[in-house]
Amino acid sequence: MSETDQITGRQIAAARALAGVGQAELATAARISVPTLRRMEANAGPAGGFANNVAAVKAALEAAGVEFIPGNGGGAGVRLRKEAP
C-alpha cells in the first residue's frame, strides 16, 4: 500500500462505526487480533501495523460496504457505498 492510499486510524474507526461493526467482529473478519485493531485505530495519522494487516482491515470494511475517500485536498474520509436501485 503506497503512502498516497494509506488509510488512517480515524478512517478505520469511522468506517467501522458506519458499517455498524464491532472491533471483535472486524478483527475476526480481517484475521487480526483485537489489540492490533485497537492500535491501528488509535493513530490519528496512517494506521500503524504491518501493511498486510492494514490491507486486510481495509478489505474487510470494503466488503461491509465502506468506501475510503482519499485526502485529496478536502481531507480523507469514509462513506457507505450507494446501493444499486
- pLDDT tens for 54-66 read 999 999 999 999 9
Which segment of 37-41, 52-56, 68-72 scores lowest on mean pLDDT? 68-72
pTM score, whole prediction: 0.87
The answer to whether 44 touches 13, Cβ cutoff 8 Å, is no
Binned at pLDDT 50, 70 and 90, residue 4 comes out as very low
If one compares 83 and 52, the residue with the highest pLDDT of the two is 52
Tell me whether strands 77-80 and 66-69 are parallel, antiparallel or unpaired.
antiparallel
Domains and CATH numbers, the chain: 3-66 (1.10.260.40)
Q: Is the pLDDT of residue 1 over 60?
A: no
Cα separation, 84 vs 7, in Å, equals 26
Each residue's pLDDT tens digit, 15-32: 999 999 999 999 999 999
